[in-house]
């Protein structure tokens, strides 16, 4: 057995100021930070964006609900899970449940957290909350206000595995939530 790990000291924020405030989707701050060894970095750039959710949703029949869509920052089309920003004052799980219903018209009785992840360990850019929703059933028509063109697909586990292997989920968080859902070991609702 190895020796216990030596505790590591975290960085400390000494001050921060906003240097760019575009809208609710983007703010940039300049932080003064103290390193564990005592050095101070007076101008550490920090990006503030809303926290968001992504959901790997699986129907009662064991099909993954995915979108084929376009995004401004992605070349060509990509496969994507359900996703969206968490509204101010909203908790992550209700946000995930809201987004599933809005984007697909489905609700799911079983929810599993797949983790909370910092998007950029050095610069911030929000937190991603990833979920697995199983037993999803259609209950309404989709009512999404998304900007992108998208098509809802029902994919088998094998199709999702092949899409991941082929790089068809072109955003890191999307590939992560689908991979974690597959690792969870369930493909039935």
pLDDT digits (tens, 9 = 90+) for 118-163: 999 999 999 999 999 999 999 998 887 766 788 999 999 999 999 9
Q: Alpha-carbon distance 42 to 118, whole Å?
A: 23
Task: Tell whether the model's pLDDT for residue 60 goes beyond 70.
Answer: yes
Task: Tell whether the model's pLDDT for residue 28 goes beyond 90.
Answer: yes
Look up residue 61 and give its two tokens: 């029949």
Q: What is the pLDDT of residue 26?
A: 96
Please report, for residues 89, 103, 129, 168, the alpha-carbon distance to residue 96 in angstroms, rounded to integers and kept in the order given: 14, 10, 9, 23
Query: How confident is the model over 6-32, as a mean pLDDT?
Result: 95
> From the CB of residue 69, how many other CB atoms can be counted at a distance below 10 Å?
17
Burial class (CB in 10 A: 0-12, 13-18, 19+), 15: exposed
Q: What is the pLDDT of residue 138?
A: 97
The C-alpha R_g of the chain, in whole angstroms, comes to 19
pLDDT digits (tens, 9 = 90+) for 75-95: 999 999 999 999 999 999 999
Task: Tell whether the model's pLDDT for residue 23 goes beyond 80.
Answer: yes
- Does the predicted TM-score (pTM) go above 0.95? no
Q: Alpha-carbon distance 113 to 176, whole Å?
A: 13
Q: What is the pLDDT of residue 189?
A: 46
Local confidence band at 1 (pLDDT 50, 70, 90 cut-offs): low
């Amino acid at each position: 057995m190895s020796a216990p790990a030596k505790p590591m000291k975290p960085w400390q924020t000494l001050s921060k100021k906003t240097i760019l405030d575009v809208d609710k989707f983007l703010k940039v701050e300049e932080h003064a930070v103290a390193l564990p060894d005592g050095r101070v970095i007076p101008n550490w750039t920090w990006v503030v964006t809303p926290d968001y959710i992504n959901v790997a949703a699986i129907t009662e029949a064991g099909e993954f609900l995915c979108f084929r869509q376009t995004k401004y920052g992605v070349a060509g089309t990509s496969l994507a899970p359900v996703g969206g920003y968490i509204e101010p004052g909203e908790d992550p799980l209700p946000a995930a449940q809201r987004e599933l219903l809005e984007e697909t018209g489905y609700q799911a009785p079983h929810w599993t957290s797949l983790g909370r992840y910092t998007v950029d360990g050095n610069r911030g850019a929000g937190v991603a909350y990833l979920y697995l929703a199983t037993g999803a059933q259609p209950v309404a028509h989709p009512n999404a206000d998304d900007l992108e063109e998208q098509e809802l697909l029902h994919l088998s586990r094998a199709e999702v595995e092949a899409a991941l292997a082929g790089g068809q989920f072109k955003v890191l968080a999307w590939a992560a939530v689908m991979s974690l859902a597959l690792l969870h070991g369930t493909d039935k609702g």
